[in-house]
Amino acid sequence: MAVSRDEILKAFDGINVWSRGSERAPHKPLLVLYALGQLSRGGSNSVAFRDVAPKLTELLKEFGPTRKSYHPEYPFWRLQNDGVWVIDDADQLERHARQTDIPKRELLDKDAHAHFTDEIAQQLERSPSLVADVAFRLLDAHFPASIHQDILNTVGLDVTLTETVTRRKRDPSFRGRILTAYEYACAVCGFDVRLGNQVMGVEAAHIQWHQAGGPDEEPNGLALCSLHHKAFDLGAFTIDSDRVLVVSEQAHGQRGFTEWLLTFHGQPVRPPLREAYSPAADYLEWHERQVFKRPPRELSTAS
Ligand SMILES: [Zn+2]
């Protein structure tokens, strides 16, 4: 019997990733998004580890936490346990002794291939709106909205939000409280343009992402202009425990870079109306560990 649309959505919703508290593990979601991209472009449902490994490594570097090494073999292997993914001839592959994982070398040597289960692939191929729903639910569950489009572009997935998709409910008062706390101006650059009575391009950002359990409260929020919001969520800069902005060594550029980012390096961010609203150390630390692209640029000690 064919699996229903709801069962498919439930299967992808159930992908097991948050195993270590608030530590980010975007591996499986990024692999699924990559495979959805390949499928939706009319490509095969079969994903070769050899092809996906370098691309997944790039995705992990760009949209995951900074790590000493990257392991595309983990999601490729472990996604089997979630009921959506099958590895061809898995019993022919030799695992690490006494471990459940598999060495990257083994997947490369044996030219391992994997695919979505046939039932799931058939439905995905038939229904572009189902592809979109799965993609947006994964994005909603694991990444802030400010970077959804960047991820979709990188995996080559051209989808728009359908009406059927059910998205997570958010606390609607968070935005208002954060913008009030920062007087409707970007905490980095002070941008506060209005169009008539409407604030334009100033947003409430979570420091510890909502997707990683960050609460909707003032000490976990910052008012940021659209540009600084995206740069913060991509990890181009972070804010240290002294509330000083620190730019990543990986961020660079010519036009705009100095004026919009480097000029704020080593500068304190603008404080909110009350000390009690100030960014809390725990959340800032989470951002530094899980989002910021290390290493930081040196802070001048001259002054
Ligand atoms: Zn700004």
Residues of the chain where predicted confidence (pLDDT) is lower than 50: 303
Mean predicted lDDT score pLDDT of the chain: 92
109 CA distance to ligand 1 centroid (A)?
48
Distance from the alpha carbon of residue 100 to the mean position of ligand 1, in angstroms: 46
CA 259 to centroid of ligand 1, rounded, Å: 11
User: Ligand 1 centroid vs 46 CA: distance in angstroms?
Assistant: 43
* Cα separation, 42 vs 131, whole angstroms: 12
DSSP sequence for 184-221: TS-TTT----EETTEE-SEEEEESS-GGGT--SSGGGE
> How far does residue 210's CA lie from ligand 1's centre (Å)?
21
Q: Return d(Cα 47, Cα 31) in angstroms, integer.
A: 10
Q: What is the pLDDT of residue 20?
A: 64
Separation of CA 186 and ligand 1 centre (Å):
5
Q: Ligand 1 mean position to 216 CA, how many Å?
A: 21
* Span 13-68, pLDDT tens digits: 988 775 567 888 899 999 999 999 999 988 899 999 999 999 999 999 999 999 99
Length of the chain measured in residues = 303
Instruction: Tell how strand 113-116 and strand 198-199 pair up.
Output: unpaired
Q: Quickly list DSSP for 82-96.
A: GTSEEETTGGGSPPP
Preceding amide of 295 cis, omega within 30:
yes
Cα–Cα dist 5/215, whole Å: 31
- The distance from CA 175 to its chain's CA centroid, rounded to whole angstroms, is 20
Domain ranges of the chain: 5-155, 173-290
Structure tokens belonging to residue 4: 């229903």
CA 238 – ligand 1 centroid, Å? 13
pLDDT of residue 99: 72
Distance between CA atoms of 222 and 180, rounded to whole angstroms? 10
